[in-house]
Amino acid sequence: MAQRIDISQINISGIVMLMLLAGLIAAAVIHPPSENRVPRISDDDRRVTAIHESGHALLAENLPAGGELLEMTIISHWGTLGSVTRAPAREGISDTELRARRMAELIIAQGGLIAEEMLVGSDAPADAKTSDIKAAEKIAFDLLGGAAAGLSLAEADAEVKKLLASAEQRARNILTSREAQLHALTKSLVEHGTLSGAEIAIILGSSAAAGQQENTE
């Protein structure tokens, strides 16, 4: 004779938890976490992203106050197509050094869009452009500091525009004079996806040496 089950003795919450756990396990089996789930981008977009990040990195390498360059990548992480990682400012930095660091960051922030303009000749995607412009504007406002308190809104806006224009020109001058290095860095980043600070230094050094040799021939 079959044994009857007393429904009142069944732990409903335990059953629910087991069902949820089974669902999670099934989902993990069907959709295992892997790099294949990272959105794929076209070869053209990959190159444009490499150009953009190379612009930032090349400026960081050529500005004494830019900070040590640790890595650059065009592998998507957390919704970003690419990134450049620099060492943070050391502790106990003086106000003068901090301002120089922020000025360097303002110049670096404009490198991506300028590099794209140089090598692609077309406007960057709206989201990338907005992100870089917002970052540059924030740095410019920070650089005004207490001086902004004594200015009208229009005057403060004018000062910010001056800082942005000056930084843009500096960035443009550096990138234009080192276009061969920009090409070399972009090519390597497209090929490898990620470059360490040491690898970037080697690429830029080799490119600069090749350029000097061409000029002497």
What is the pLDDT, as a whole number, of residue 123? 58
Query: DSSP character for 55?
Result: H
Residues with Cβ within 8 Å of 171's Cβ and at least 6 positions away in sequence, in order, are 55, 59, 107, 108, 110, 111, 114
pTM for the predicted model, two decimal places: 0.75
Q: Nearest Cα to 163, choosing from 147, 138, 140, 142?
A: 140
The per-residue pLDDT for 23 is 55
pLDDT of residue 35: 44
Q: What is the mean pLDDT of each run of 10 residues along the chain (217 residues)?
A: 49 52 49 48 90 97 94 82 90 92 96 95 64 93 82 90 97 97 97 96 79 49
**E strand or H helix that includes residue 48:** helix 43-62
CA distances from 92 to 89, 96, 97, 98, 107 (A): 9, 12, 10, 10, 23
Per DSSP, what are the bridge partners of residue 196?
71
Rounded Cα distance between 71 and 87, Å, is: 9
In the chain, what are the domains? 7-37 (no CATH), 43-216 (1.20.58.760)
